[in-house]
Amino acid sequence: MVNNVVKRAWAEGRAVVNGWLAIPDGFSAETMAACGWDSVTVDMQHGVQDYMSMITCFQAMGKHPVLPMVRVPWNEPGIIGKVLDGGAYGVICPMINTVEEARALVSYCKYPPLGARSNGPIRMVSYGVASTYQQTANDEIIIMPMIETRQAVANLEAILDVPGVTAVYIGPSDLGFSHGLVPKLDRDEPEMLAIYDRVIAETAKRGQFAGIHCGSAEYAVRAVKMGFKLVTITNDASLMAMAAKGAIKTVRDGIA
């Protein structure tokens, strides 16, 4: 059983700092996993990851104490079951807008009798050896619908009331876009901040947790102070580009 550092942090009242992998490469994943994140998420929606690159990333991350998670491309049982079989302990699912979609997501993530997940955890058990994985997976897997549309906000309480939903994850870019705003991550608009406050309050009321994708470490700090319990800081590609640009600027400014 993977050490679920995310659930432990939440139980202790701490916020989780989550890394994000857009780059489909084991060496990059290994480097990110060594940096001190609580969890690292492979992005199969908007990154350039596929299933096999996810497996490679999970293998590379394995020696580090990070919880492996995935943002799946859509709310579809085939890919959700497959990423769980491949080693994901958290599923972030985009565009969950209704209570029916939330119920379907939970069903895809959980074994019977709580769900309809098919049995075949290829990387999570050693075949021919007794395993307790199937006995504990329903409790250990983190299920996070994304709240990123007007419709999802309107249905927020109903989505949160679906048994099995662990947390929700704010997609600020799409959420702002759906409200007629420019798509971006770090938002300051009063109407967006009011939604954030509502999400934080409603999850806390139910013993659930609110997560958000941030464009900078500074905004992640602000988000934690707002009450978010999981913050992602951009992604590996953006962090590399920002560091490279900063280093180049330092050199060029120094020799100008």
Q: What amino acid positions are annotated as catalytic residues?
A: 46
Q: Three-class SS of residue 19?
A: strand
Identify the burial level of 113 via C-beta atoms within 10 angstroms of its C-beta, where 0-12 means exposed, 13-18 middle and 19 or more buried: exposed
Three state DSSP letters for 94-133: CCCCCHHHHHHHHHHHCCCCCCCCCCCCCCCCCCCCCCCH
Asked whether the beta carbons of 159 and 152 are under 8 A apart, the reply is yes
The dihedral built from the CA positions of residue 82, 83, 85 and 86, taken in this order, carries a sign that is: positive
For residue 92, how many C-alpha atoms fall within 13 Å in the half-sphere facing its CB?
29
Asked whether the beta carbons of 49 and 21 are under 8 A apart, the reply is yes
DSSP 2: -
